[in-house]
Structure 1
Amino acid sequence: MVCPTCTISNHCPGCSSIGGGAFTELGPFFPNGDGRSLRKNSMSWNRASNLLFVESPAGVGWSYSNTAFDYNIGDASTDQESCFLREKAMQIGNPLLNLDRDAPAMYDYFWSHGMISDEIGLAIMKDCDFDDYTFVTPNNISDSCNNAINDATKIVGDYINNYDVSLDVCYPSIVQQELRLKKMVLFFSSSVFCSGDG
């Protein structure tokens, strides 16, 4: 009997294959809302194949390195260090193709699903020019666009899974909540990690 193996690698800083892929998408278990137990995923891919979740590059999810150089990441270094795998087939799910299409589609999705107000959704559609937009160094982005995007990000928050907004809300631990509240007194904080983000 041949047992196929499916390799899952989100392969991106901030995107854990285990925290995101295994525990919120296609793995054998999902976390329960209590933060202490798991439930079976009846649609898990492990019913048809072995699953190998790869955390890459170093520092994503539960991966780590004891060499500081390994944390120098980017598309060029990741590409150079990638291994060649003999694959029979490949499937790409949820790829980032073009920011000029993907970024406005995300905000349109938030708006059409009632996650952001009409005011913010329409401001993004009107004021944002995504033709030359990058997340690292936004080029032609106006102050009104930047404000609308920041408002949308704050409203949607860190606890909603953008890929399945119907999932249970992922609240951080009590310690992380307390730290966040202390930060908010001094400065608006927008980064609290959910379980699995490392």
Structure 2
Amino acid sequence: MEKSSLKNQSMLKSIFNKDFIVSAIIPVIIFSLFDRNGMTMNGIILCGSWSIGVVVINFIKKHQINALAMMSATFSGIGLVGTIISKNPTFYFIAPIAQNMLIAAVFFGSLYFKKPLIQIIVEQSYLKNVPEVIKGNPKYKVNWKILTAAWGILNITEAVLKIILLNVVSISSYYAISTVCGNVLDSSLLIFSILFSKWYLKKK
């Protein structure tokens, strides 16, 4: 019972950590403060700049950037520039939906390549020296294909939820819910991916 409790606490810490505060909570607070004071555009510009800055700072610190972080920064930049040019705040909130759909398409498309996208990301960032014995296991490739498909499905789900939210709640609520939930879902699936891989590769 205690081991299970400790394991759950460890998972929660993996999700609600420093990165979660920096990438989800702080941007939501910034936008909410500006939006409430009638400065929605200023809030968007600051949030967009913050999101791009987080990716750039992480790159400077770690000297590496994965495909997902790069795509996220790119779409934040596109959304930010598009919003400034069009002077339409909605543009910034539509960009993440397009991002989710494109990422989903990339994930599903990568299933037809030798290495699916999740395998490339994980080997690039987390498993740099995978033993050839493990790579030679037929389940190794199947494992990454399953997880890549799961990430594709998650991104489609996020896009659909964002579309619904954008048409049902206020812009401030949409941004808060989609940002926080998006980070929680991504972190949860990352943990699931690790646990699933350990279980699946050991499965006889």
TM bucket (normalised to shorter chain) is: under 0.3
For normalisation by structure 1, the TM-score amounts to 0.28
For normalisation by structure 2, the TM-score amounts to 0.27
Higher relative contact order (CA 8 A, sep 6+): 2
- The structure carrying a bigger helix percent of its residues is 2
- The structure carrying a bigger strand percent of its residues is 1
